[in-house]
Amino acid sequence: MHSSPATRRIGRAAAAALAALLAATACSSQGGSADGGAKTVVPTVDAEDNNPQPLENIKDGGELREPLQQWITQWNPYQVDGTYGDAVEIMGYLEAKLFRSDAHGVYQPVPEYLVSAQVTSDSPQVVTYKLNPKAVWSDGTPIGYRDFEAVWKASNGKDQAYNLADSSGYEQISGVVQGADPSEVKVTFSEPYADWQSLFNPLLPAAGLSTPQAFNDGWVEKVPIYGGPFVLQNADKTAQTITLVPNPRWWGPKPKLDRITYRVLDAAAITQSFLNNEIDFASAGTATAYGQLKDAKDAVIRTGTPWDEVHISFGGNGPLADQKVRQALGKALDRGSLIKIANKGVPVEFKPLDNHLFMTNQNGYKANAGDWAAYDPAIAKKWLDEAGWKDAGGTRSKDGQPLELHYVMSDGSTQAQSDLATAVQNMLQQVGVKLTVDKVPSKEYFSKYIDQGKFDLASWRNTGSFPLSKTVPIFRAPQGDNVFGNYSKLSTPEIDTLLRKAAATLDPVKAAELYNQADVKIWELGHTVELYQRPSIVAVRKGLANFGAGSLADTVITSVGWQK
């Protein structure tokens, strides 16, 4: 899933980490800093830094105020425009989130929805869900197999009228039926799918997905039916505020908070809004933000290591349709220098990320970048020559056309992001590539540019892409106008096959081997240059419990509140 140039998901830390993507922090340890100072903050690897408190220590009532990087238009997380990280996270509070990831990245069933869920047959693979009979939609309809069936039929890719974010997993399902009684659901797979717990999560009501129009348009600017602990009380587009309140039909533990308020803020305004006591959460992942927030009144700094990566993507149009040119650009970029720019003034040492699919703290991680990401401007020049882009003493040209590319970035970018873009510009100039940096409105960065593939180079974050099958749409081949999450539109049949085989392999060791084989080919393709894994460093209002910087764990929103 992509994050805005300053946002995204997995636990709250990544989901709303509204600091700058390239200037934010990475998976790390103590040690020397990029700017000569000691790195003093060590993010947790397998636990949350969220002030864990038992419910008896938390007040009833109160408000949590959070920032949003952009207005939420599409609320359906299965729809291609509904993948914005904060929207996906909020929908986990509004709808039926069947599983939550723990701090080790292992899915656990949520008892308010599931009595149990397990593979009850291997050949074919059958998953049997036993539902909590108390689970009900806000219109009074019990949650049942028809909801699973509706999500499957809308998401399996057979009807092109459904504009999907991703059909992975749903394509492999051959049938959804009621089990022994209305509270049992049986899902049968035509081929094995290892990450079945990532499916139907959140579960949406059949009534909201019954037609392509309902799927695509019925969740625009509204949430028609609820199944979670909170409901959307108000979405004021003029004021750019969203308010959640407890669901009056909720059957689970009563939420501690009586209100969650979100306000759209440009990245540059978030730090000051926290200092002004207007919000209770802000990223401290940039040098400037950390410097202002670390000693702020009523603030604490919390850190964690989520699935969160920062990269530079290449487009697939114009000169970059040539793989040789993309490979040459990868050799022209000095990753070490780029990481130092992002690392400056931030209290965690950034380490290069050499894998597109695994984070450094995940089992199965291998450094697959090899020579593709090794800085070598001489080789870059040679490959550009071989691709027909000749050096005439300045900008290279081919068939009378200059080699001119555009780096698209948000106008809400931090100084560190601007510095990084300038460094990329200078590096490419050294090998005869003219790069223009185009700043575009932050609220349109994804919707009008990245999602549309209108970039030559761009940088954003992918977060929350585990289990690993969630990385498949980032690199899979587009189908017609549907690019899934592959905004570069770059793929190969071999990569597609390896990713699909990995997602169908139940043995995690064998699956990791296949994912790593795919990753080697993704590096060779010249799709994306990974920079680093980004840990969360956030400022949180003192007294806020069970909320802060996540690693691989999801927030339990009903337990979030203010300490007594």
User: Does residue 251 or residue 351 have the better pLDDT?
Assistant: 251
Range of the domain at 16: 11-30+43-76+89-94+221-306+537-562
User: Does residue 472 or residue 564 have the better pLDDT?
Assistant: 564
The per-residue pLDDT for 285 is 85
Percent of the chain whose predicted confidence (pLDDT) is above 70? 91
Q: How far apart are CA 144 and CA 184, in angstroms?
A: 8
- Domain annotation covers residue 531: no
- Domain annotation covers residue 241: yes
The per-residue pLDDT for 292 is 93
Q: pLDDT at residue 5 above 60?
A: no
Residue with tokens 């994912």: 515
Give the CA distances from residue 353 to residues 2, 25, 158, 373, 529, in Å, rounded to whole numbers and listed in that order. Answer: 17, 12, 36, 10, 9
What does the longest C-alpha to C-alpha distance in the chain come to? 76
- Domain annotation covers residue 519: no
The per-residue pLDDT for 44 is 59
Q: How confident is the model at residue 40 (pLDDT cuts 50, 70, 90)?
A: low
- Helical segments of 333-414, H only: 335-343, 377-386
Q: Are 531 and 338 a contacting pair, CB within 8 Å?
A: yes
The per-residue pLDDT for 468 is 84
Paired with 525 in beta bridges are none
Q: How far apart are CA 187 and CA 391, in angstroms?
A: 59
Q: How far apart are CA 21 and CA 446, in angstroms?
A: 14
Paired with 112 in beta bridges are none
Q: How confident is the model at residue 47 (pLDDT cuts 50, 70, 90)?
A: low
- Domain annotation covers residue 322: no
**Residue 146 three-state SS:** helix
Residue 137 burial (C-beta neighbours within 10 Å; 0-12, 13-18, 19+): buried
Report the amino acid identity of residue 264: V
Domains identified in the chain, total number: 1
Q: How far apart are CA 496 and CA 327, in angstroms?
A: 20
- Mean pLDDT in residue range 476-497: 92
Please choose, from the candidates 41, 35, 508, 85, the residue with its C-alpha nearest in 3D space to the C-alpha of residue 305: 41
Q: pLDDT at residue 14 above 90?
A: no
SS (H, E, C) 456-502: CEEEEEEECCCCHHHHHHHHCCCECCECCCCCCCCCCHHHHHHHHHH
The per-residue pLDDT for 39 is 57
Residue with tokens 């960065």: 445
SS (H, E, C) 334-356: CHHHHHHHHHCCCCCCCCECCCC
Q: How far apart are CA 208 and CA 210, in angstroms?
A: 6
The per-residue pLDDT for 6 is 32
Give the CA distances from residue 262 to residues 22, 103, 194, 237, 301, in Å, rounded to whole numbers and listed in that order. Answer: 24, 25, 36, 12, 21
The CATH number of whichever domain residue 549 belongs to comes to: 3.40.190.10
The per-residue pLDDT for 370 is 95
Q: pLDDT at residue 492 above 70?
A: yes
Q: pLDDT at residue 19 above 60?
A: no
The DSSP letter of residue 394 is S
Mean of all residue pLDDT scores within the chain = 89
The per-residue pLDDT for 472 is 86
- Mean pLDDT in residue range 69-92: 93
Render pLDDT for 318-369 as a digit per residue (tens, 0 to 9). Answer: 999 999 999 999 999 999 999 999 888 887 778 899 999 998 878 789 999 9
- Mean pLDDT in residue range 411-423: 92
Q: pLDDT at residue 257 above 70?
A: yes
Q: How far apart are CA 93 and CA 478, in angstroms?
A: 31
Report the amino acid identity of residue 488: S
Q: pLDDT at residue 84 above 90?
A: no
- Domain annotation covers residue 66: yes
The secondary element (H helix, E strand) that includes residue 70 is none
The per-residue pLDDT for 23 is 30
SS (H, E, C) 503-563: HCCCCHHHHHHHHHHHHHHHHHHCCEEEEEECCEEEEEECCEECCCECCCCCCCHHHCEEE
Render pLDDT for 91-108 as a digit per residue (tens, 0 to 9). Answer: 999 999 999 988 777 789
The per-residue pLDDT for 362 is 81
DSSP states of 153-164? HHHSSS-TTS-B
Render pLDDT for 220-238 as a digit per residue (tens, 0 to 9). Answer: 999 999 999 999 999 999 9
- Domain annotation covers residue 453: no
Q: How confident is the model at residue 26 (pLDDT cuts 50, 70, 90)?
A: very low
Give the CA distances from residue 471 to residues 227, 240, 296, in Å, rounded to whole numbers and listed in that order. Answer: 27, 31, 38
Q: Are 63 and 258 a contacting pair, CB within 8 Å?
A: yes
- Domain annotation covers residue 228: yes
- Domain annotation covers residue 15: yes
